[in-house]
Amino acid sequence: MRIIRGLAEAKAFVAGRGNLLSQEVPPHLVQEVARRSQAIFGHPYTVPEVVARILEEVRTGGDAALKDLTLRIDGIRMETLETPKEALPKAAEALPKDLRDALELSARRVTSFARASLPKSWHDPSTGLGERVVPLDRVGVYAPGGNAPYPSTVVMSVCVARAAGVREVIVCTPARDGVNPSPVVLAAAHIAGADRVFALGGAQGIAALAYGTESVPRVDKICGPGNIFVAMAKQQLFGQVGIDGVFGPTETVVVADDSADPVVVAADLLGQAEHDTLATPILLTTSDALLRRVETEVERQLPALAKKDIALAALNGQGALILLPTLEDAIEVSNLIAPEHVCLNVRDPWRWAERVRHAGALFVGAYSGEALGDYVAGPSHTLPTHGTARFASYLGADQFVKRFPVIALNAEDARRLAPIAAAIGYAEGFTAHAKSAELRAQ
């Protein structure tokens, strides 16, 4: 991991991180995509071009295009796209008891948090104004499955949608055995309350949810993380279907002082690094001694990881140990990064929590491990990444509802407001608007 000292150097590091999607397309991937697209489509496409081609094929070709693309891209011949409904409860029953209990507890906590945070309709009779909060009809949840199955993503998306009152929840996830998705993903879908599961991955799965096909129902909104092709598909489809966000590789910023345990800090950084070679683990600290001990601990703990090669690539690629003069500086740099996770491992963490303005999620104190947030704390772990926490929020219950205002004025309000509306209408040249308002005054 690189070591950075001082506020100026730290700010330069943040400024050099680039944008969300450029971070996800390193040169070796550009070359691999060109080679693969030449073999599959007969042309050396870029990532956006590959995605656009896939979206168009699915839009015009429906089920046949989905099966053809799955065969050409993944080498899987699909007879049917939907996983039989009876496979879901069977998968749940076959889980080891400890894992099933864990997923069920996670589902209960996620559901409880989502219900507590759900926005509610309101109406003020004195003004005649209010707001209706209405759940979406149908939502599509994308669950990644390329490197490993992610049952936690299913739980933390489907349960939130269900808590918000969504009528139908569809899950798309890649096939794992040539036909069906991972059994643990199917089990999670059952536990969380999904209605249907389709063995579709990548940009073609996103396209199926957005456009609808003979088999896959068109959804109102698509949520869930994925690889560069999934992220690009969601970006290109924005405006045609609701999108929760475009997510990049995971990232964590640990803010620590000399009270922090270097063993725990190192474990938290490695917990992010093992996700992806493009993951970003960053330590911001005021203690040079802690920095050095964390560096040593990372080297000590790394060889024992099942995904040590992935973690090492992330540490060397995007990781950083940053020494800053004060915790004020550390929080300033954290806000500039606006990362997916901010972990405050400092004395009196609530004092500093109030100063965190940009974070996908905030973990306050040494006991609030980010890994607990990933699986069981309660809030969904689908969070804005790579600086988008400056303007975006996590996948909460409000992402699965829509709001519209309700205007129910009485005669007195209409007589009082109509001349004002008419004056504005005449000023804008909309005389019909003005006359319509004036009629209310009569």
d(CA 142, CA 206): 7
Measured torsion, CA atoms of residues 310, 316, 321, 322, in degrees rounded to the nearest 10: -130
Instruction: Round to whole Å and give the CA distance between 190 and 226.
Output: 21
Beta bridge partners, 320, equal: 2, 282
In sequence order, which residues have a C-beta less than 8 Å from that of residue 135 and are 6 or more positions away?
Answer: 164, 165, 166, 167, 400, 401
DSSP 3-state of 146 = coil
- Out of 340, 358, 370, 386, the active site residue is 340
Catalytic residue flag (residue 295): no
Residue 138 Rama label (left phi>0; alpha psi -120 to 50; beta): beta
- Count Cβ atoms below 10 Å from residue 3 Cβ, excluding itself: 14
Structure tokens at 357: 């303005």
Which is it for the CA torsion 266, 270, 272, 273, positive or negative?
Answer: positive
340 has catalytic annotation? yes
**Bridge partners of 253?**
282, 342
- Annotated catalytic residue, options 24, 57, 297, 341: 341
Q: Looking at the annotation, which residues are catalytic?
A: 340-341
